[in-house]
């Protein structure tokens, strides 16, 4: 259902004379080479925004001017299939394929299920919250821009820069992992510096195609990742039941053998606490659907399916595959990541280890190729998320102004270049002390994902409060979060508990502190918890710069950028019409759409 506010604006009714004039930029009138970013013209700055820009006149800002001024500079190139696959498979990468092996070694098969389930339940509430807000406010910068409005500009400054640096640091990590993944087939083929260069160039080339290049790559790589995970689940079930090849280790029933010996928990309660960050890292990027909302033509139609896709990914992909891994591999297996005999890289992936033990020839190489592609996919997500947030920081005055440059191919050009330059940090792994430097770089982003999710939940709580105080009904919302404000409070509580658990591990690490010096204990603490003091530092800088405080609920602006102006009566009529749909359509909507 569409209201007059949601329809295209007819500029023919705008009076001339002293009234404001609007300059429109229609990307569809450019050549196809410019639109896909393959011409010199495409790098020129887009004149105005895709919706329009005030260029002269007037002191009063009416509704028309506000709608035009809020139009995003980034073109709406993403299709529904892109957004849905980004939500379902976009963040599947190093965390699941490789990091889950380290988590299995530290937490045991039961430990990783507890950690992933808790993080997953919390994440469902986060995505529901961001879905509700992004459909109503599909603004450039996503949850960062919402944090400026609903929380506090100083806190948003800290969260935004923290998010930019998180992805800027993860980019060289993913390039390094991709390089070591290729070495599974032989370390003498090419030095690691050569592979780093190749993968860096590949990511840069895809970035030339802008949003469409990222969306298409994410769609097809997500399809491949989902295929591999589903295939592994079926193979794993057969192997657990003893149906593996005669030459492998799974030619007889094993069931829950490894839950009894060596056990379900590797290091008890402390082991469970230690794998929370690995679980959070594996889910990092799920919030990208909030950033992508402004680059989707009709978020109202596409976002609900993307949000609900998160539930199916957590249930069917992560939980099921981790259960299979815990049944196939004991937590004390010597090849798992972090074990004394581990070779690291793709060889330490529990997916590869399980297929090697099964004696299924060829599939381990197929999985390894998938790991390599998924790592590159996450690298592209780093550039996408980091550059869009950096551009939003510039648009709100919290980053140098030139970062708001968006070209005719809808690339935030300077932001993309800066994030890509961070990929050069991957070369520190070539040096003798590279590992130490890289550990500290990773420490900067260790808890960043949790802070981002915390800010999304807090934004939603404040939004719901302002919505109520200013006389609105939740029935006006085109999409309602499953748990409402209570779901976001539940998410906040879980995130705080995870942060407390990580503090506990930072102070009393697995293995104890006996024999360690004070400097070594402090170093271990900050490698786990460095992101917190960095976040606090960013907040102090933001407050000292702008001197802002949170607004009261009745002062929060609920109109600027709002894309749905339907009344309660209109929404009731809309929902009543949907209730009259056939049963199978209603069931499909409940499970997969809105």
Q: Could you tell me the CA-to-CA distances from 428 to 172, 186, 424, 555, 568 in Å, in that order?
A: 9, 21, 8, 49, 58
For the chain, list residues with pLDDT below 50. 1-23, 49-72
Going by their DSSP bridges, the two strands 21-23 and 53-56 should be labelled as antiparallel
Structural tokens at position 524:
């271990």
Those residues with Cβ within 8 angstroms of residue 93's Cβ, 6 or more apart along the chain or in another chain = 174, 225, 282, 374, 375, 377, 378
Q: Where are the domains of the chain?
A: 78-334+348-509+518-549, 567-593
CB 283 within 8 A of CB 95: yes
Helix (H) or strand (E) holding 23: strand 21-23
Q: Could you tell me the CA-to-CA distances from 294 to 50, 100, 510 in Å, in that order?
A: 11, 33, 44
What confidence score (pLDDT) does residue 574 get? 66
- Cβ density class 460-486: b for 16+ within 10 Å, e for less: bbbbbbbbeeeeeeeebbbbebbbbbe
Task: Give residue for tokens 């995870």.
Answer: 498
CB 12 within 8 A of CB 4: no
Those residues with Cβ within 8 angstroms of residue 271's Cβ, 6 or more apart along the chain or in another chain = 106, 107, 108, 111, 265, 510
Helix (H) or strand (E) holding 501: helix 484-507
What confidence score (pLDDT) does residue 565 get? 65
Structural tokens at position 449:
């994902």
Q: How many residues does the chain have?
A: 594
Structural tokens at position 463:
């939004």
What confidence score (pLDDT) does residue 281 get? 79
**Residue 99: DSSP 8-state:** I
What confidence score (pLDDT) does residue 412 get? 86
Grouping H, G, I as helix, E, B as strand and the rest as coil, residue 342 is coil
**Residue 319: DSSP 8-state:** I
Q: Could you tell me the CA-to-CA distances from 237 to 240, 244, 331, 357 in Å, in that order?
A: 5, 10, 18, 14
What confidence score (pLDDT) does residue 442 get? 66
Overall CATH class of domain 78-334+348-509+518-549: mainly alpha
What confidence score (pLDDT) does residue 63 get? 38
What confidence score (pLDDT) does residue 239 get? 92
What confidence score (pLDDT) does residue 294 get? 66
What confidence score (pLDDT) does residue 548 get? 81
HSE, CB side, 13 Å, CA atoms: give it for residue 349. Answer: 31
Q: Could you tell me the CA-to-CA distances from 126 to 15, 88, 375 in Å, in that order?
A: 45, 15, 24
């Amino acid at each position: 259902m569409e209201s007059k506010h949601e329809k295209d604006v007819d500029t023919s009714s705008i009076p001339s004379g002293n009234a404001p004039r609007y300059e429109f930029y229609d990307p569809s009138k450019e050549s196809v080479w410019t639109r896909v970013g393959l011409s010199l013209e495409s790098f020129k700055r887009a004149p105005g925004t895709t919706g329009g820009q005030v260029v002269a006149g007037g002191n009063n800002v009416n509704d028309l001017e506000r709608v035009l001024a809020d139009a995003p500079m980034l073109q709406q190139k993403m299709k529904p299939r892109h957004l849905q696959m980004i939500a379902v498979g976009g963040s599947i990468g190093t965390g699941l394929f490789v990091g889950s092996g380290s988590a299995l070694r530290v937490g045991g098969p039961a430990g990783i299920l507890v950690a992933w389930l808790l993080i997953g339940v919390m994440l469902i509430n986060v995505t529901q919250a961001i879905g509700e807000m992004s459909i109503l406010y599909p603004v450039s910068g996503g949850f960062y821009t919402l944090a400026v409005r609903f929380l506090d500009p100083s806190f948003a400054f800290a969260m935004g820069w923290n998010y930019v640096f998180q992805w800027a640091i993860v980019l060289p990590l993913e390039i390094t992992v991709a390089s070591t993944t290729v070495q599974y087939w032989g370390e003498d083929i090419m030095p690691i510096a050569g592979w780093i260069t190749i993968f860096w160039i590949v990511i840069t080339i895809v970035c030339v195609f802008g949003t469409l290049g990222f969306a298409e790559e994410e769609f097809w790589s997500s399809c491949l990742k989902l295929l591999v995970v589903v295939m592994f689940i079926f193979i794993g079930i057969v192997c657990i039941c003893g149906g593996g090849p005669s030459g492998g280790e799974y030619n007889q029933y094993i069931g829950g053998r490894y839950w009894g010996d060596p056990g379900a928990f590797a290091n008890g309660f402390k082991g469970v606490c230690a794998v929370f960050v690995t679980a959070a890292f594996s889910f990092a990027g799920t919030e990208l659907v909030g950033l992508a909302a402004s680059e989707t033509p009709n978020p109202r139609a596409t976002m609900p399916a993307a949000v609900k896709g998160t539930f199916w990914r957590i249930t069917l992909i992560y939980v099921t595959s981790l259960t299979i891994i815990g049944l196939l591999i004991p937590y004390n297996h010597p090849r798992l990541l972090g074990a004394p005999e581990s070779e690291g890289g793709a060889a330490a992936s529990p997916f590869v280890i399980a297929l090697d033990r099964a004696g299924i020839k060829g599939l381990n190489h197929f999985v390894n190729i998938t790991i390599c592609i998924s790592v590159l996919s996450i690298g592209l997500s780093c550039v996408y998320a980091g550059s869009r947030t950096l551009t939003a920081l510039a648009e709100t005055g919290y980053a140098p102004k030139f970062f708001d440059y968006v070209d005719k191919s809808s690339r935030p050009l300077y932001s993309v270049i800066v994030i890509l330059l961070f990929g050069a940090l991957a070369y520190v792994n070539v040096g003798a002390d590279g590992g130490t430097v890289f550990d500290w770089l990773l420490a900067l982003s260790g808890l960043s994902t949790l802070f981002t999710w915390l800010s999304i939940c807090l934004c939603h709580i404040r939004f719901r409060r302002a919505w109520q105080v200013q006389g609105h009904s939740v029935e006006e919302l085109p999409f309602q979060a499953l748990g409402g404000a209570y779901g976001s409070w539940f998410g906040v509580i879980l995130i705080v508990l995870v942060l407390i658990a990580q503090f506990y591990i930072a102070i009393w690490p697995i293995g104890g502190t006996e024999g360690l010096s004070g400097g070594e204990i402090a170093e271990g603490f900050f490698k786990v918890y460095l992101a917190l003091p960095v976040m606090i530092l960013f907040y102090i800088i933001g407050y000292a710069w702008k001197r802002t405080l949170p607004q009261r609920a009745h002062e929060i602006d609920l109109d600027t950028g709002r894309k749905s102006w339907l009344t309660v009566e209109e929404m009731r009529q809309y929902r009543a019409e949907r209730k009259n749909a056939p049963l199978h359509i209603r069931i499909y909507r409940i499970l997969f759409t809105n």
